[in-house]
Every structure is written in structure tokens, then in C-alpha cells.
Amino acid sequence: MSSHDTNVAIGIDIGGTGIKGASVDVRTGSLISERIKVPTPEGARPDDVIEAVATLFERLSTEDIADAPLGVAFPAVVKHGVTMSAANVSDEWIGLGAEKLFEDALSRDISFLNDADAAGLAELRYGAARDVRGVTLMTTLGTGIGTAILSGGKLVPNVELGHIELDGKDAETTTSNAAREREDLSWSQWAQRLQRYYSACEVYLSPDLIVVGGGVSKHHEHFLPLLDLTAKIVPAKLRNNAGILGAAARASDKHVARV
């Protein structure tokens, strides 16, 4: 592998509890390095998160991939490099020119995008949404609920359906995997909440396919069969690597477009 290998990119996925990264073969969607994970600093304030990402990137970046495109996925609405919201991270991120801060800290250009959008792009290119006609709703069930809409092979960015209102509350506060763990819900109890959530999403979107990701998707047989929806609902294929793969793929696409 050489520094000009255009099939290699690096993806970093920032979450509410952990930051993960790896180098990726963007042709196949496979990791070509060990996946490195570090804890998200307590409070997830900008300076602390940026420092943690810089430390992780140093561990990932070897001489043979020094020039590889780098994508960073972040749990916020991202518009023109500015984080417009703060999902499960410090409110200090709101309105921050985060893309430039990361670029300055890492001394390189990056591709910066919403974490659920990155997961959606990965499932579109390499996973459960590949070659699907119509509209796909990608959801990640984790600390919160991340969502991405894919239509005709294109991403509609920054769709925050985890924040739709159910019983006067953000859906993700009662329906995320973190809520399941916090309240020690059985699979059937959790499925009842998921049923209400996904039924509401169907009212708004009428998707043809719903893809369920996040680490809990590896236990999909315990809860997905309990849901009764119009759309087909399937587990994500890429699980917790989706953010890494999508961030890397987006960075590679942008790099190719520039050259």
C-alpha cells in the first residue's frame, strides 16, 4: 500500500460514549487496519473531544497512508462545517465551526458529516440498503436515535427523526437502546416503544425499507420480529463499523472529485 493508493481512506466516528477509527478499503467497505476505540471524554466538550480524536488519529496514521483522505462523523446536524446541534455531547458544540477546528488540530483537510448520515451512506454503498429502490430510512439505536434518509441512491442530509415527539418527549429519550438499558426493559417492552416510534416514522415518510443499526442490531432477532410495520424492516449489515465506513467513503469521494 502506498501513500497514493486511492482505494484507501480513514474514517473516524465520534459517538456519545466512544470514538472509533480505522483505515478502510473503500472499494469493498472492509477495514484494513485494527479498529481503534477510545472513550468519549466526560462531558464531551470541544477541546477534549478534539484532543481525543487527534490522539486516535496519530495511532491510525502510519507513513504508508499519511496522505489518505480522512472523514470524521459527528453526532450533530452539520451545515457547511458548522455543528448546529449537540446530540449527547456538550452544548458548546452548537454553532461551532467544528470542521475547521478538527482540520487545524489534525493539520489536514477532512470530510465532516453527521454520524447517522455516515452510517446511512455505508449501508447504501456496502450494506442492507444497497440496490434498494425507493426510500430507505436508516436508524441507529444507541445513546440516542440517529436517522438518515436515502432516496434513489442519494442521501438527504441532517434528518433528525430521533427527535420527533412522542408523549411530549423526544422519541430517543424513551426509545433508544440507552433507554432500554437504563430502564432494564425486556425485549418485548422495548419493542412496544419501537413499534410506536417506527409507526410514527411511517406516517411521515412511507419508507420502502427501514434499516436498524447500532450495536444492539446484533440482537435483532429478539425485537425486530415483534414489530408490525408496512415497510420491510431489516438489521444493518455493518453494525458499529457503519460510521467509520461511511465517513471514509465520503472522504474518498470528495478527494476523487477534487483531483
pTM of the model: 0.90
**47: its cell numbers:** 477541546
- In this prediction, residue 3 carries a pLDDT of 47
User: Residue 123 domain-assigned?
Assistant: no
Rounded Cα gap, residues 113 and 169, in angstroms: 26
Number of compact structural domains in the chain:
2
In terms of domains, do 58 and 134 share one?
no
Q: Provide the CATH number for the domain around residue 87.
A: 3.30.420.40
Contact yes or no for 115/71 (Cβ under 8 A): no
Rounded Cα gap, residues 204 and 213, in angstroms: 20
What are the pLDDT tens digits along the chain (259 aa)? 444 468 999 999 998 889 999 999 999 999 999 999 999 999 999 999 999 999 999 998 776 677 899 999 999 999 999 999 987 899 999 999 999 999 999 999 999 999 999 999 999 999 999 989 899 999 999 888 999 999 988 999 999 999 999 999 999 999 999 999 999 999 999 999 999 999 999 999 999 999 999 889 999 999 999 999 999 999 999 988 999 999 999 999 987 766 5
- In this prediction, residue 6 carries a pLDDT of 80
Query: Is residue 259 classed as helix, strand or coil in its secondary structure?
Result: coil
In terms of domains, do 81 and 147 share one?
no
User: Residue 1 domain-assigned?
Assistant: no
- Measured CA angle at 157 (ends 153, 163), to 5 deg: 125
